[in-house]
Structures are given as structure tokens and as C-alpha cells.
Amino acid sequence: MGMMTKTKIVDWLSESTKLLAEISELASLETRVILCHVLDKPREWLVLHPDFELEQRQLDLLNLMITRLQTGEPLPYLVGKQAFFGLEFKVTPDVLIPRPETELLIEECISWLEEHPAKRKLADIGTGSGAIAITLADRFEDLDVTAIDISAKALDIAIQNADLLNVAHQIKFTQNDLLENIVDRYDVIAANLPYIPTQKLNTLTVARYEPVLALDGGQDGLGIINRLLQQSREHLKPGGMIILEIEEGQFESAPILADTLLPGMKKSIINDLANHPRILKIMV
Ligand SMILES: C[S@@+](CC[C@H](N)C(=O)[O-])C[C@H]1O[C@@H](n2cnc3c(N)ncnc32)[C@H](O)[C@@H]1O
């Protein structure tokens, strides 16, 4: 008898939201997102069809997804996508899930590019899903972008995203270790590189699901940024800008490092809306 009972959308939603609420503040939103994903319907459809009866196959899949969320797997990996700066990016466990914090770096780049209409050569180092490179290419159709990542698997996703978002013609994707052996110079060197100190990373849940290669910044978290800053001297065009996402705790150490490696250039730290230091900007 139990096997024959049909589950209605409205009932599944209330039950699984209750379950998920034990571990997530966004339970109600998350259950709706996976329901839309599994049924391949827009959000409004759910509202209009609360009595729609789920097939057993759909129910099994939905319940499996709830279990995976309960164990801490990030929702974007389950549904294979994440919104960033108004665009939708494909994501897999081979790329970092683009974060809202990184939108601040995008905003800074947009203002700078608007103020410098003749400077249109930009490099995104550690492109991951392509979030930075693609968002800026989408915004400035004359922007000439080089997107670099050491991970071939990440680049594969970034290339797919550039195709999906119709900016592939503006972006050159290159598998490389930072700017090693690259001869080009850029007006903007933008990077959200791994910056979490190894010790700290071991205590964080992000490292369970997201690529360690995207997160681990070495002993003090500044190892990779240090190398990029050293290389940047030879790769920045006159009047250009280096813009880096950093960790909150690096708001003193990162500018000191930049002063040592790039003396004479102006450094500024930009805080996010919660007033946490997030961005290091370096200009001539
Ligand atoms: C924090 S993720 C940022 C991804 C994306 N830019 C974003 O903001 O969502 C850092 C990226 O840097 C890449 N990476 C790590 N070490 C690198 C290196 N030595 N050279 C180039 N890319 C590197 C990782 O593979 C990862 O994709």
C-alpha cells in the first residue's frame, strides 16, 4: 500500500525542507531549486502545481539529493550551475564555485576599465570556471582576455562556459603555471588565486568538496600570490593595474609583500559590504 502512495510536490517540499533545515538556513530555497532541477521546470511552475504527483523515479532522485546536501555537498555541484554577476556558470567539482565576494573584484575592474577606455588587454590568472574572464568579456565587447589555469580540467569547464555565454571569440585559454614563460604584457592582471593557509584549509569543509588546487595557498596563504607578484613586473603594461582577491587576514601582509616586490607602486585595500578587506589593488 505504502508503495502505491503518491507524493505531492507540496508534501515533499514541506517534509524535505524540515529535514534540511537541521543543517541549512536556506533549506526552503534549496529544496525548491533541486525540485526545479529534477522536474526541469521553472520556479513559477512549482507554485502553480502544488498537487502534482511525483513519480517514484523522481522521488528517489530527489531524496538522494537531499541526502547529499545533508552530508555537506554544495548545491551548485548537485545542479551543475551557479549564478555569478547575473550570468549562469556551469560548475563541476573540478572548479571552485564562484563566490559573491569575487563580484567585488568584478565591480572594481569594471570601474577601472570604464575609466581607461584605451586599456583593453586583461589576464585572468587562475580562471577556474572562467567567472572573472567571462563576466568581464561579456561586459566589454572590445576586451581582449587571456585566461590561465594550471588545471586542464578547470580550463575545460571555463571553455564550455565561454561558449555557452558567447564570449569565446574574446578569450584565449591557456594551461600554464601563472605567467611562467609567457611573454605578453597586460593592462590588467586580475587574479583570485588560492590564498587559504594550508593549516587552516584542513579545518574547513570547503576542502572536502572543492578542488584543493583552487584553495591551498601554502604555509602563509601567500605563496602563489608572491610568485605572481614577482612575475607581474615583467607583464604589466605602463599605467596598468594588478588586482587580487585576498583573505581577510592578509590585509597587512599582502600589501607589505607587494611593497617589497613592487616598490614604488600604489597599493590599496578594498573592503566588502560587510567591511572585510577583500581586494588588493596595485597601480603605477
Ligand atoms: C580560488 S580559484 C578561483 C577560480 C575563479 N577565478 C573564481 O574566482 O571563481 C583558484 C584557481 O587557480 C588555479 N591555480 C592554482 N594554482 C595555479 C597556478 N600555479 N597557475 C595557474 N592557476 C593556478 C586553480 O586551479 C583554480 O582554478
What residue ranges line ligand 1, CB within 6 angstroms?
96, 98, 102, 125-129, 131-132, 148-151, 154, 177-178, 192-194, 213-214, 224
pLDDT at 194: 96
DSSP 8-state class, residue 235: T
Residues in the chain: 284
Query: Does an H or E element contain 87, and which?
Result: strand 87-90
To 10 degrees, the CA torsion angle through 24, 28, 30, 31? Answer: 120
Q: How far apart are CA 173 and CA 224, in angstroms?
A: 20
**154 CA → ligand 1 middle, Å:** 9
Q: If you write DSSP's letter for every residue of 107-130 in order, what string do you get?
A: HHHHHHHHH-TT--EEEEES-TTT
pLDDT at 6: 86
120-150: buried (b, 16+ CB within 10 Å) or exposed (e) per residue? bbbbbbbbbbbbbbbbbbbbbeebbbbbbbb
pLDDT at 83: 97
Which residue in 191, 183, 128, 190 sits closest to 155, CA to CA? 128
**222 CA → ligand 1 middle, Å:** 13
Residue 69 backbone dihedrals phi, psi, to 5 degrees: -65, -40
pLDDT at 1: 43
Q: Which domains does the chain have, with CATH numbers?
A: 2-72 (1.10.8), 92-283 (3.40.50.150)
Q: Average pLDDT by consecutive 10-residue portion of the chain (284 residues)?
A: 75 96 94 96 94 96 96 95 98 97 97 98 98 98 98 98 98 98 97 95 88 94 97 96 95 96 96 94 93
